[in-house]
Structure 1
Amino acid sequence: MISRLSVSIVRACLRAGTGGSPTAVLDEVPLSDEERCRVPVLAGTSHAVFVSVHASEVSLRFFTAGGELPACGHGTVAALAFLAARAGGPEYRGVLRAAGRSFAGRAVREGARFRAVFEPGPVELREPTPDEWAHVLPPLGVTSDTLAPGARVASIGRARLLVPVVSRSGRLAARMFAPSIGVPEDIANANSTACLAADLAGRGVTEIAVDMGDALGSPATITASARPVLRLGGVAEVAGAVRELSV
């Protein structure tokens, strides 16, 4: 058991300075994977990011109550804000490493907040199979009159089904359900936004901003650009620190 475990709470992917996904961010500590899974639960967040700073790069590990994730987009945004706040100065640049891949990240100070951008890596896209449709659409309650064309299975670490539905909002909005990793619904899922951006880039759309979190009462927005390479971004704020967690 470790007492006085220092955990920073970062609200990642804010929309107009409010909402966002509360994310636990902390320096690497000697914990078992089971203990790491307890950190987001005790901190009152859906995800926790463990940060290990080396001479040439920063390693990231992501956990939910259900286990370790190979990648986490909004967790990366939160980690960049955490690193930038600790470094001070108007801008932070670094090389990050997660899931065996190194990539560049940047966070620019905007008052008390940070605008973070990073390259999530390549996205694999394919058509969904009938079996995948059968397992996903009924629980979502999507029917033929609400389903729009263009569904894809996309992977950026883990496969997910992109299900387009009819909307009159005039804005891109999304909901992400991931009960298999202990997150019934995600406030801000940046990796899914990267998958959507990669799919839309093939249709000529290279810049998007996706709203999420409204159904959970915590509005969030993730930005993505596919020009010239895929980049994800979001605004984050280091909201406070939780101490004396025992895991």
Structure 2
Amino acid sequence: MITVVDACVRDGAGGSPTLVADDEDGDRCAIVRSSGASHGAFLDLPVVRFFTGTAELRNCGHGTLAAHAVLLSRSGRPRQRLTQHTGGRAYEVTAARRPGGGIAVWFDQGPVTIEPPPAGLGQILGALGIGDPGGIVVASPGAPRLLIPVADPAALAPDFPRLARACRDLGLLGCLVYRLDGPVAWARLFAPAIGVDEDVANANSSGCLAAHLGRRVEVWQGDALGRPSAVWADTDGRTTRVGGVVRLR
């Protein structure tokens, strides 16, 4: 069974179209490409595997939210908690129906490492068309990515082939550019090295930002793509929790 849902909607609209499928033989990347979604979650419970149109991912935050919204919908229950095995790690995911519609899902992302940026950062900044703003870090919940504060994420027009090469050279998944506005972070996630030039919503990077800031944050993405999204992320200094609302089609 194959389902496409909208993960991490904002005010009931937008979100990232995400495929959820029972695990099956065949080319999973091709299945994702044919669905029109950027990511797919393939279920062989308790194992969940994630793919883009070009590669398998170690994990996928908004794919996790999508998968457990579908599982709750299939169960007919108002709420459930399950353990998911992905990328060599087991973690709990909770899903609950919302009175106003949609399904809210939270998962424990686990610890996030924060490190200084690598040598060769100029490759990334050049591909983004910006100078060094300072405050750049590498954050990793398992796969490293850059967190880059910028004055206006909407103004960026990356050179995606150049950015893909730079990210591969430095062993990075991609980069989250963001601007803080009180409790909200306006952000864009670029990951052409894994076949996703720009992500509508990236839950794991949102958790990384909360870990870096040391506080709760709501990350708004997708506006540049006409698919506004929102991810909630919180930290207690030891681990991070990430959540969002999934709309079933």
**TM-score over 0.5 for the pair:** yes
Out of 40, 55, 61, the position equivalent to 1:73 is 61
Task: State whether structure 2 residue 244 is matched by structure 1 residue 234.
Answer: yes
Aligned-residue offset at 1:186? 0.4
Q: Residue 169 and residue 70 in structure 1: after superposition, are their counterparts in 2 closer, same or farther (change >3 A)? A: closer
2:139 equivalent in structure 1: 154
Task: State whether structure 2 residue 112 is matched by structure 1 residue 123.
Answer: yes
Aligned-residue offset at 1:30? 2.2
Q: Which has the higher contact order (CA 8 A, sep 6+)?
A: 1
Counterpart code for 2:48: L
2:17 equivalent in structure 1: 22
Task: State whether structure 2 residue 171 is matched by structure 1 residue 185.
Answer: no
* Percent of pairs with identical residues: 42
Runs of 4+ in 1 over 2 A off after TM superposition: 166-171
The C-alpha deviation readout for 1:16-64, integer Å capped at 9, x for no partner, is 0000000000111123xxx1001111000001110112xxxx2110001
1:97 equivalent in structure 2: 85
CA contact (8 A) 1:26 1:51 kept: yes
CA contact (8 A) 1:66 1:181 kept: yes
1:9 equivalent in structure 2: 4
Of structures 1 and 2, the larger Rg is shown by 1
Q: TM-score, normalised by structure 2?
A: 0.84
1:243 equivalent in structure 2: none
In the alignment, the residues of structure 2 paired with residue 44 and residue 114 of structure 1 have an alpha-carbon distance, to the nearest angstrom, of 22
1:198 equivalent in structure 2: 211
Out of 160, 164, 172, the position equivalent to 2:149 is 164
In the alignment, the residues of structure 1 paired with residue 216 and residue 223 of structure 2 have an alpha-carbon distance, to the nearest angstrom, of 21
Aligned-residue offset at 1:139? 1.0
Moved more, 223-232 or 17-26: 223-232
CA contact (8 A) 2:203 2:242 kept: yes
Moved more, 214-223 or 116-125: 116-125
Aligned-residue offset at 1:157? 2.1
In the alignment, the residues of structure 1 paired with residue 31 and residue 66 of structure 2 have an alpha-carbon distance, to the nearest angstrom, of 16
In the alignment, the residues of structure 1 paired with residue 240 and residue 246 of structure 2 have an alpha-carbon distance, to the nearest angstrom, of 20
SS in 1 for 2:213: helix
Out of 220, 229, 243, the position equivalent to 1:220 is 229
1:3 equivalent in structure 2: none
Trace 1:128-143 onto structure 2 (pairs within 5 A).
128-131=117-120, 133-143=121-131
Q: How many residues align?
A: 219
SS in 1 for 2:135: coil
Aligned-residue offset at 1:169? 7.2
In the alignment, the residues of structure 2 paired with residue 40 and residue 76 of structure 1 have an alpha-carbon distance, to the nearest angstrom, of 15
RMSD over equivalenced CA pairs, Å: 1.5
In the alignment, the residues of structure 2 paired with residue 104 and residue 187 of structure 1 have an alpha-carbon distance, to the nearest angstrom, of 24
Q: TM-score, normalised by structure 1?
A: 0.85
In the alignment, the residues of structure 2 paired with residue 142 and residue 194 of structure 1 have an alpha-carbon distance, to the nearest angstrom, of 24
1:47 equivalent in structure 2: 39
